[in-house]
Amino acid sequence: MKISEKKRILMILMTLIFLVPAFSDLFSKKSASENPILKAQTDIFFTRSENCYTLFLSDVTPASISMAIPDLPPTVKFLSSKKEEIIDADLGRGTLISLWFDFSLSGETHLAPLMVKINGKTHYYDFQKVQIYENPALISPQPEILFASPSRLHKNSKNGIYTYKAKAGEKINFSLYLKNGIQILSLKYDLPKNSIFKELERSDFAQGKFQIQEFTGKSQKIASFQWQILKEGRYFLPDIKMQVLSYKGEKREISMPRDIEIEITGSDSDFSQRKTGVSGIFAQAFEYKDDENSLQSELAPSREKLKESADSEKRTLWERLSGKKKAIFAGGALYSIPEERSKYQNFAGGQKVTLKERAGDWCFIQCEDFSGWVKKEDLFEIK
């Protein structure tokens, strides 16, 4: 055999000697999917808390194992690890590896495989992917609004305010949801002015019929509403207030988000009709049958008796301290805006109402059955 052939064979042998470990390591990495994976100990992880992965290696002692934590993203912090020998009735004898991590951001986990050497041989084990949620013990319950026509909602990139556009008198349907709350303790709202506001549906959760026992990332439906705003302008959402119980067990008062505005516009024909006192929008909004109201009016107490009733009543100490005004409504026309030319609805008298606002000879009143503008002369104020 010539010297040149011997050199060529020697070079091939040396190349194989160097390539075998590399191929062996590559094969080990490729076969990681065939290995057992590091399993999450819970279905979901939380930020700012200890989250554990475990890996069971059968027929292996802790002393024969060494491992290297992979490079972690800046939002993930490795806390600690543990190797313990166990005997399991189903799995047999082996080593249980436990690893704890702290995640600072919500989202899905993306960790590189864990490198483990067993008796000098390298193996790679994948981490189970888990969804990470904001730690419910550290955040407050949040209200969420879902409009029936979400395409009308537009966000201003400069100030972050959302604007929902509609016409005066148009029905706006929306639903209220709650996130990160386990129970509704109370739900109340003030009827918005210059509008017709209806609660269409209230969920069992909102009625306090059950309490969430385990964490869920889903929002819970509270109620559905229908809102008709009768006057042009910009409005915030109705003042709906909830008292809820947080995951931490604390009572929290929740109000509507202030980053949503309702922009109400009207056509030129609406404006011209309003000037003549014949508004199609208000007419549509207040098309009610007055037969029942007329009958109630005949049976209602006289104005003299209602005045005597108001004179005999006194405001409570709390009403005096808070400045809350009360009155008895004598009955008559209830207007959507303080203007006699607008359409109105007739109501029988006798209701105890709250005085919310004054404008000259007009007062905005509110009770459980209705709200709107009335003439001051149709109220008997309780002193």
158-187 tens-digit pLDDT: 888 999 999 998 999 999 999 888 899 999
What is the pLDDT, as a whole number, of residue 26?
Answer: 44
pLDDT at 20 exceeding the cut of 60: no
Reference 115, options 65, 158, 181, 186; nearest CA is 65
φ/ψ of residue 165, rounded to 5: -105, 135
pLDDT per position as a tens digit, 106-156:
888 889 999 999 998 999 999 999 989 888 778 888 899 999 988 888 888
Q: Which residue has the higher pLDDT, 298 or 58?
A: 58
Q: How far apart are alpha carbons 233 and 264 in whole angstroms?
A: 5
pLDDT of residue 8: 66
β pairing state of 240-246 and 92-103: unpaired
pLDDT number for residue 301: 61
| The pLDDT of residue 282 is above 50 | no
Residue 260 predicted with pLDDT over 70: yes
- End-to-end alpha carbon distance in the chain: 124
Query: Among 31-35, 94-98, 148-152, 204-208, which stretch is predicted with the lowest mean pLDDT?
Result: 31-35
The reported pLDDT for the residue numbered 372 is 86
Q: What are 55's two structure tokens?
A: 């890996």
* Predicted confidence (pLDDT) at residue 31 exceeds the cutoff of 70: no
Q: Are 99 and 112 in contact (CB under 8 A)?
A: no
Contact residues for 109 (Cβ-Cβ < 8 A; gap 6+): 45, 103, 127, 129, 130, 131, 132
pLDDT at 4 (0 to 100) = 63
Q: Which residues pair with 131 in a beta bridge?
A: 44, 108
Q: Which range among 103-112, 271-280, 364-373 shows the weakest confidence by mean pLDDT?
A: 271-280
**Range with lowest mean pLDDT among 20-29, 203-212, 345-354, 355-364:** 20-29
- The CA–CA distances, whole Å, from 4 to 1, 10, 17 equal 8, 10, 20
pLDDT at residue 89, rounded to an integer = 73
C-alpha 279/C-alpha 236 separation (Å) is 24
What does the pLDDT read at residue 12?
64
Question: Is residue 286 over pLDDT 90?
Answer: no
Q: Assess whether pLDDT exceeds 70 at residue 316.
A: yes
Position with higher pLDDT, 78 vs 17: 78
Q: What mean pLDDT do residues 205-225 have?
A: 86
| DSSP symbol at 105 | S
Does residue 294 carry a pLDDT above 50?
no
Nearest one of 354, 214, 345 to 282, comparing CA atoms = 345
Strands 114-118, 142-147: parallel, antiparallel or unpaired by DSSP? unpaired
- Report the mean per-residue pLDDT for the chain: 81
- What is the average per-residue pLDDT within 197-218? 86
Mean pLDDT to the nearest integer, 221-242: 92
Q: Where are the beta strands (DSSP E) in 89-170?
A: 92-103, 107-108, 114-118, 121-125, 131-133, 142-147, 153-155, 162-167
Percentage of the chain modeled with pLDDT above 90: 35
pLDDT at residue 5, rounded to an integer: 67
pLDDT at 258: 85
Average pLDDT of the segment spanning 268-284: 40
Examine the pLDDT at 39 and tell me if it is beyond 60: yes
pLDDT digits (tens, 9 = 90+) for 354-371: 998 888 888 998 887 778
DSSP conformation letters of 3-58: HHHHHHHHHHHHHHHHHHHHHHHHHHHHGGGGS--BEESSSEEETTS-EEEEEEEE
Q: How far apart are the C-alpha atoms of 189 and 199, rounded to whole Å?
A: 10
What percent of the chain clears pLDDT 70, i.e. is strictly above it? 81
pLDDT value of position 133? 87
> Over the Cα atoms of the chain, what is R_g?
35
Q: Which domains can be identified in the chain, with CATH numbers?
A: 35-134 (2.60.40.740), 137-270 (2.60.40.10), 286-382 (2.30.30.40)
pLDDT given at position 121: 93
Contact by Cβ (8 Å): 345, 333: yes
CA gap 20, 289 in Å, rounded: 92
Q: How many residues does the chain have?
A: 383
Over 60: is that where the pLDDT of 273 sits? no
Burial class (CB in 10 A: 0-12, 13-18, 19+), 281: buried
Closest by CA position to 357, among listed 241, 234, 228, 193: 193
